[in-house]
Amino acid sequence: MLPYQCLSRRVRSSGTSSILSRRWIKNFIPHRKSSTKPVPLLSPSWAERLPPKLRPYVYLTRIDKPIGTLLLFYPCTWSITMAAYALQAPFTTPLTYTVLFGTGALVMRGAGCTINDMWDQRLDKAVERTRERPLARGDLTQKQALIFLAGQLGIGLAVLLQLNWYSILLGASSLSVVTVYPLMKRITHWPQAILGLAFNWGAMLGWSAVAGVVDWHVCLPLYAGGICWTLVYDSIYAHQDKKDDVTAGIRSTAILFGAQSRLILGGLSASSMSLITLAGYLNGQGAPFYAGVGLAAVQLARVIIRTDFDVRESCWRGFVGCGWSGFWVWAGALSDYALAVL
């Protein structure tokens, strides 16, 4: 008996429903028709050390994959820091709101994943990468997910209520976009654009939290730049599943762009950085800000050039790599603010 057969029998005999164990075995077992050495696609997650009843909820929120939270968080930090720079606010102001928005991003990204998986339970079963999600596998019921979602939204509301009333209303208005996003992949090739509308709401909300109202002439180009950025990283993400998506009837910009993806995503990257630069110019930002945007542009260029859109692992690396561009924009804005207030 081969070692992986022993491992598979041991897992079955123990009756465990561990998602990672099944995935690991599936990826470890070599294909008989291939002579190449198999490489496991997944590494062990800290979530596997949690009690079995808790694990499905952790996997439902994707909290073990922080890149999604960061992609939601960065536009908030751009706006918070740029508003603090414009108002010459004391450092405690951006610090307080960065912590609040970081907590909110963690909770609401998880809530968004719950909503998405509730809508996509059947579709997820048709896609190799997503069929192990808790709802698709049957580890959670729709009722359990709904109760859990209510808790997530309650925590999100508690965070939102720490802001001024203008920001509370502005933040609450984003929930409609979050809710309809999962439906868009069924009716349009542009669900990534709808995700961009939701994921970059913080580019407006962060400013209103600091200043009391949104400075639209700065925040609109910042918001638009964030949407273009989302189109880049989520199109790369969608390339992971494009073959399964065609079979399942799921639409995406990855399918729409096809062989022209590199060229189109390069144009969207340039648009994103140009719009963020414009926002900085309208806000009177200094050299450190533009240096950060420059580093972000270089990072996006590296991702676009290096990503193989036909290889899932390469697409995942490109997707994560796009997150660094968001970090560099924040780093530039933060450096600029620090020099201004010190």
Distance CA 21, CA 135 (A): 17
Q: Which residues, 6 or more positions from 73, have their beta carbon under 8 angstroms from its beta carbon?
A: 101, 102, 105, 202
Whose CA is closest to 280, among 99, 95, 102, 81?
A: 81
Task: Specify the range with the lowest mean pLDDT, choosing from 124-133, 150-159, 259-268, 304-313.
Answer: 124-133
Supply 169's token pair.
Answer: 């209303």
Buried b (16+ CB within 10 A) or exposed e, 270-293: ebbbbbbbbbbebbebeebbbebb
Query: What tens digit of pLDDT does each residue of 192-220 get?
Result: 999 999 999 999 999 999 999 999 999 99
Whose CA is closest to 145, among 121, 166, 172?
A: 121
> Mean pLDDT across the stretch 288-312?
97
**pLDDT band at residue 44 using 50, 70 and 90 as cut-offs:** low
Angle between helices 216-238 and 287-306 (to 10 degrees): 20
* 7 pLDDT above the threshold of 60: no
Query: What tens digit of pLDDT does each residue of 47-95 get?
Result: 777 788 888 898 899 988 999 999 999 999 999 999 999 999 999 999 9
Whose CA is closest to 115, among 77, 153, 85?
A: 153
To the nearest whole percent, how much of the chain has pLDDT over 70?
A: 87
Predicted TM-score (pTM) of the model is 0.84
Distance CA 328, CA 71 (A): 12
